[in-house]
Every structure is written in C-alpha cells, then in structure tokens.
Structure 1
Amino acid sequence: MSVIAVAAPPAVREMFFPPETWAALTSLGRLRLPPEGADVGDEAVLAGLLTDADVVVTGWGCAPLSAAVLASAPRLRLLAHTGASVKPFVTRESFARGVRVTQAGEAMAHAVGEQALALTLALLHGVHRFDHALRTGVDWATAKAAPPRRELRGAVVGVVGASRTGRAYIGLVRALGARVLVADPYLDAEEAAALGVERAGLDELLTGSAVVSLHAPVLPATVGMIGARELALMPAGALLVNTARSALVDEAALLGALRSGRIDAALDVFDEEPLPIGHPFRRLPNALLTPHEAAGTVESRRRAGAIVLAEIGRFLRGEALRHEVQPELLDSTG
C-alpha cells in the first residue's frame, strides 16, 4: 500500500480535507502525519515524515524538497500541493530525482475573482474612505466629503492577465455591466471574443480604465510591470486592485501615487508579509488592505482538497495528472 505523507498541521488539514474528503484520502493509502506539535517547516521534521512516503501533500509553511530531504525520501514520487504556487516547495533537485508535481490553483480562481470584485465595488463606492474617516474620529460632515463615487455598470475595467483568476473576475464584472479591456500577450482574438472583452496594450488599458485589476503571474517580463510611469498613465481618480502578486507593482512608486491622492488602491499582497505594523500603507485613507486572504474561502479550500485527492488517485492508478507542473513551467507558477 502506498504511503501518503500529509505535511501540514491539523488546522490546515481540516481546512482542506473535511471528513468525507479525508476518508477518501485514507482509502488511497496509508497516511503518515507529522508528530503532534512538529513544524514541517523544519527540514529534519519533513525528512523524517518522508522516509517511506510515495506521495507528499504540502501546505503553508512546509520546508522545500532540498537535497537533504530528498536523500531521506527514496520512494517519493509525487508532491501534491494544496495551493497554487509550488515555488516554495519544489526544487530542481526534486525534478531531477523524478518527483512529479501537481497543484490546486484552479480551486482558488472564483474566490479570488469574487474578492477582486468586492474590492472593486468598495473602491468605486468609497467604502474604504468612509470607514477610515469614521474610525479615525473626524466629524460627520468631513467623513461624508469623499471624492466622487462611481458605479460599476458602464465603467471601463482593465484586466491585466487573462489567467484563471482574471477570467473569473471578468465574468463577474461583465455580469454587472462593466466594459472590459484585457492586456495579455497570450490572449488571441477568438478567446477575447468568447470572454466578451477587448484586447488592449498595457498603456492603452491604463489610460482608458476607471479600474485596473491585476491577475498576471510573476515572470521576468512582469516583475515591476506597474511602475511610476505606468501609474502616471492612469487617470486621476482611477482605482488599482491587486489580488495577484506584489512583485507586479513597484511598491515605492505605488506608495508615492497613493500619497499624491491621484489614485486609490486595494491590495491583498505586499512585498513584505506580514505587512509591518508601521507600514505607511496602513495610514492611507485611499488604500484598502486585506492580509493576503483573497483565496481563503471555505469553498475554495475544500475544492483544493478535492483536487489534491483526485490527483493522488490518478497518480496511484497510473493515469494522467490534470494539474501537473512541468520543470520548464516552474518559473511561471507565481
């Protein structure tokens, strides 16, 4: 019987594997769990867990498959990650050793799309500014004196990246009446037509959108793609939503744009996480902040657990994986 190591503490296991999913996982093999209170972020703990494991299920905080860990795991053949990016766990050595990799990023698309929509609506209606004003003790009349607010219906929304989350967001904002521009070099005319969007270059999208929502992966070409020049292209009063990766935006340039008051932004991701208590973002009335939780719905996590369960089943039956990460794609899983 195959040994399936679950490299996650009890609280994380419960999020992704409700009782029925856990029972199904148990039926696939003999489960190996870390000792109570053990930290799977410790390479020695992970190495001990994988001694006779054929499959490892990874979650937040798991140590990477370093050469030392792999040396203790001669039978390991599959890493199944409950999240999207496998960069913190997978190594070139693990691929060289023949360890295959799969991930559950698809499970998060709708949750992230919904959060991006929620942030978009909050920015358009000035909810963040009203909340900040009332909580900081300004008088009622001053709190009401927010910049002009807009509706989503009829607004031009620019989406950077027609990824899974980008497509989920597109469907939601279009359903509420937005016109959508998309900047994505891989989106062809036929796909754009099917999505009901217009293709645009990044500069065109930035200058012509009331809302810009980021959904691109982190690649060499996308790191810092929204810098001071790009932010200056956005019209006064425009809104920026980032539920993707902080590396897409020059954080210092964004801070400058927000301090100037030209734009408002909603951010779920930051260069430094946890976001320091004294970070200037926390004090800005035109910044709406969430702590990297866009994908963290109950439903999203349970979908992720179901994907991991199904992928392990396919692997053990010798079937093709549906969410496999190939070595050459490792640099594009951000």
Structure 2
Amino acid sequence: MASLVKIAVLDDWQGIARASADWRALEARATVDFFPAAFASEDEAASRLAAYDILLPMRERTAFPASLIARLPRLKLIAMTGPRAGTLDLAACTKAGVLVCNTGSDASGAATAELALALLLAAARHVPAGDAAIRAGRFQEGVGLGQTLAGATLGVIGLGRIGARMAGYGRALGMRVLAWSANLTPERAAEAGAEYATKEALLAQSDAISLHLVLSARTRGVLGAAELARLKPGAIVVNTARGPLIEEAALVAALREGRIIAALDVFDTEPLPADHPLRTLPNTVLTPHLGFGTGAIFRQFYGEAIENIAAFLDGAPMRVVNPEAIAPSA
C-alpha cells in the first residue's frame, strides 16, 4: 500500500511548507503534493482531495465539517498541525474511521501575543500610514498624530496564556491593565498583573482592548454593536484570536463612522475576500492571520506532522486525538 499512498499538504499559503521540514523520507514512501492556495468552496475541496489517503492541513485554514469528510472516500488520516482545530468535525472523522493526529505548539502563544502587541503599537502610532506615505514619495503629510500608550488603559478580554502575556506587555508600556472573561475571578486577574473589571466597565474605560478568547458558541459575537458603542471615541480594538468573536457588520459600521480603530489579524472569512470593506477603511491595521506563523512554530508543526504520518504508515500511530477511530484487531 505504501507506494500507492497519496498525501496532500494543504493551506501552504505562504509557500513555506517544503522549506520548513525534511520531506525526503516521506516522499520516498508516498506521493506528496503541496496545495498553495485556499479552496474556493467545499465542492472544490471535495473534488481535489478525493484521491488522497492522508491530509496535512495547517491549523483551521481548510474547514473539515462532516459533509466534507463524507465526500473523501480514501481518507484514512488527518495529520493536523497544532493541538486542536475547531473547524474539524472530530466525531465525523471517528465515525468514518479517519484517524486524527496532532502536534505540539510550543511557542504559538508567545508569537500570537507578540503580534497583538505589534498591532497595538502600529495602530496607536499610525505605522502603516507612515510607511505608505514614504513609499508614495511623501513624508509626514497626511499621517496624523498618534496616541501615547503610557498612562492609558488596556482592556484584555480573555486572560489565558496569550492574554496574560498581553497584559504583561501592557504593564511594560506603563498602561493600566483591566481584564474580563466569563469565568475570570479578581484573584486570577491579580495573579496575571491585571485588575478584574466587568465587561461593561472594561469597555467604557479602556483606550485599547485586545481579544484572547477561544471561539465557541458562548464567545461568538462577544463584541457586538452594543459593546462597540460603549468604547471611547478613538479606542483601538485588537483581535488576533478569531474573527467571529466580533460581529463583523457592527465592526464595519463602527469603523465607517470613524468611532474606533481596528487592528486585526483574523477575519470571519479567510482569506479575506478581495472586495471586503475592511480592505478600504483607513482606520484599520490588517495582517493576514500571521499570529502563530513564525519559523520555529512551522518547523515544529511540519516536523511533528511528518513524524505522525510516518508512524501511521508503520502501523504505530502516535499523537492520536481520536484513538476510538482505530478498528479493533480481528
């Protein structure tokens, strides 16, 4: 079987998968194809992936709902990168006998928090506008005045490992740091060097807010029109977590009215459509979901995913997320 195995490496949008790991041993045992572009639809994904036995997706870029799993008759293994993927239907994989393996993610929290800090600073000091002015042959003309963050208030929504890092960065800048999430206690906030606040108080008092929640039914739309209306004029909203944490229509409306600034690394639809209004609004700083994407992390992701695939081909799968998918021995 090994010589007939077909492996698809998905979501290589930056064209760095091949350089991030040593694929030679795997390519000696199987056909390995790299997919550098996103699929336009589930139909396209089903059509192009139907002939593959093993898929190696990058985090949550390609979604795998039950409807897609059912259309991949040869699929035996999804070697996902990172510890979990909210867009992969694990129950459907298990029911179909598709094994799912994962990888570690040692530095992704630090990388994402660092990008959140970068977005905050870029928005506060109009870094993209300044860069664009110089590249257009201007200098300070039209750039506008920035904000001083020292002495301002940072609201951190979600004080887990990434949010706690962001709180530390805020303190290092001389900011007052408030924190809120549904299960946060004043004691836990204090341990992370933040002050606990209600959601309403955090929104009303913060000069900048940064979201660090896991997307779930409870957190989807945690910032809607009512919440955005509570923000101070000119407040900066940083989101490096998941796009749907903010109601997109309400966000676009607030930006069009010039009430806030948004610094975003994540979006409801990724890649962001070419005609999306966020692309043309001047009071935004946008990056293409780069939060976890550093060299060290990609080397871990692809290196461990290759190990997982080799172990599966050897009949001794490792880092298995759904061991119940393995058929019992006869």
TM-score by length of 1: 0.73
Are the aligned partners of 1:46 and 1:63 in contact in 2 as well (CA < 8 Å)? Answer: no
Specify which of 210, 219, 227 is matched with residue 207 of structure 2: 210
1:146-165 CA-partner distances (Å, limit 9, x unpaired)? 245213x4432111123443
Please state whether the residue corresponding to 1:143 is helix, strand or coil. coil
Partners of 1:187 and 1:2 in 2: how far apart?
A: 50
CA, structure 1 residues 38+185, in 2 after alignment: closer, same or farther (shift >3 Å)? closer
Partners of 1:197 and 1:313 in 2: how far apart?
A: 45
Q: Are 2:312 and 1:281 aligned?
A: no
> Which position in structure 1 is the counterpart of 2:118?
118
> Which position in structure 2 is the counterpart of 1:92?
91
Aligned ranges 1:310-325 → 2 under 5 Å: 324=321
Are the aligned partners of 1:16 and 1:304 in contact in 2 as well (CA < 8 Å)? Answer: no
1:155-190 CA-partner distances (Å, limit 9, x unpaired)? 321111234433443343334443322222233455
> Which position in structure 2 is the counterpart of 1:80?
79
CA, structure 1 residues 13+294, in 2 after alignment: closer, same or farther (shift >3 Å)? closer
Please state whether the residue corresponding to 1:48 is helix, strand or coil. coil
Are the aligned partners of 1:108 and 1:304 in contact in 2 as well (CA < 8 Å)? Answer: no
CA, structure 1 residues 253+302, in 2 after alignment: closer, same or farther (shift >3 Å)? same
Higher mean displacement: 1-10 or 237-246: 1-10
Please state whether the residue corresponding to 1:269 is helix, strand or coil. coil
Partners of 2:115 and 2:205 in 1: how far apart?
A: 23
Q: Are 2:147 and 1:149 aligned?
A: yes
> Which position in structure 1 is the counterpart of 2:57?
58
Higher mean displacement: 164-173 or 283-292: 164-173
Residue identity opposite 1:72 in structure 2: R
1:9-32 CA-partner distances (Å, limit 9, x unpaired)? 696797346576546x749x9445
Partners of 2:118 and 2:233 in 1: how far apart?
A: 21
Residue identity opposite 1:57 in structure 2: L
Post-superposition offset of 1:8: 0.8
Post-superposition offset of 1:268: 2.0
Partners of 1:30 and 1:164 in 2: how far apart?
A: 39
Partners of 2:267 and 2:296 in 1: how far apart?
A: 24
Aligned ranges 1:2-17 → 2 under 5 Å: 6-8=7-9, 15-16=16-17
> Which position in structure 1 is the counterpart of 2:70?
67
Percent identical across equivalent pairs?
36
Are the aligned partners of 2:56 and 2:78 in contact in 1 as well (CA < 8 Å)? Answer: yes
> Which position in structure 2 is the counterpart of 1:330?
none
Higher mean displacement: 204-213 or 257-266: 257-266
Partners of 2:119 and 2:230 in 1: how far apart?
A: 21
Post-superposition offset of 1:124: 1.7
Q: Are 2:194 and 1:197 aligned?
A: yes
Partners of 1:312 and 1:300 in 2: how far apart?
A: 18
Are the aligned partners of 2:237 and 2:260 in contact in 1 as well (CA < 8 Å)? Answer: yes
Partners of 2:14 and 2:187 in 1: how far apart?
A: 41
Specify which of 238, 242, 252 is matched with residue 241 of structure 1: 238
Aligned ranges 1:37-48 → 2 under 5 Å: 42-43=45-46, 45-48=48-51
Partners of 2:168 and 2:37 in 1: how far apart?
A: 42
CA, structure 1 residues 20+178, in 2 after alignment: closer, same or farther (shift >3 Å)? same
Partners of 1:193 and 1:302 in 2: how far apart?
A: 35
Are the aligned partners of 1:158 and 1:181 in contact in 2 as well (CA < 8 Å)? Answer: yes
Residue identity opposite 2:8 in structure 1: A
Which structure's residues are more often helix, by fraction? 1
CA, structure 1 residues 63+238, in 2 after alignment: closer, same or farther (shift >3 Å)? closer
Q: Are 2:216 and 1:219 aligned?
A: yes
CA, structure 1 residues 319+57, in 2 after alignment: closer, same or farther (shift >3 Å)? closer
Post-superposition offset of 1:212: 0.5
Partners of 1:240 and 1:140 in 2: how far apart?
A: 27
Please state whether the residue corresponding to 1:182 is helix, strand or coil. strand
TM-score by length of 2: 0.74
Partners of 2:287 and 2:267 in 1: how far apart?
A: 10
User: CA RMSD, aligned part only?
Assistant: 4.1
Higher mean displacement: 114-123 or 273-282: 273-282
Partners of 2:294 and 2:250 in 1: how far apart?
A: 31
Partners of 2:154 and 2:292 in 1: how far apart?
A: 21
Are the aligned partners of 1:128 and 1:286 in contact in 2 as well (CA < 8 Å)? Answer: no
Post-superposition offset of 1:198: 2.4
Specify which of 45, 48, 52 is matched with residue 49 of structure 1: 52
Partners of 2:123 and 2:246 in 1: how far apart?
A: 19
Partners of 1:133 and 1:273 in 2: how far apart?
A: 28
Post-superposition offset of 1:312: 6.2
1:20-50 CA-partner distances (Å, limit 9, x unpaired)? 6546x749x9445249999996435534321
> Which position in structure 2 is the counterpart of 1:172?
169
Post-superposition offset of 1:233: 0.9
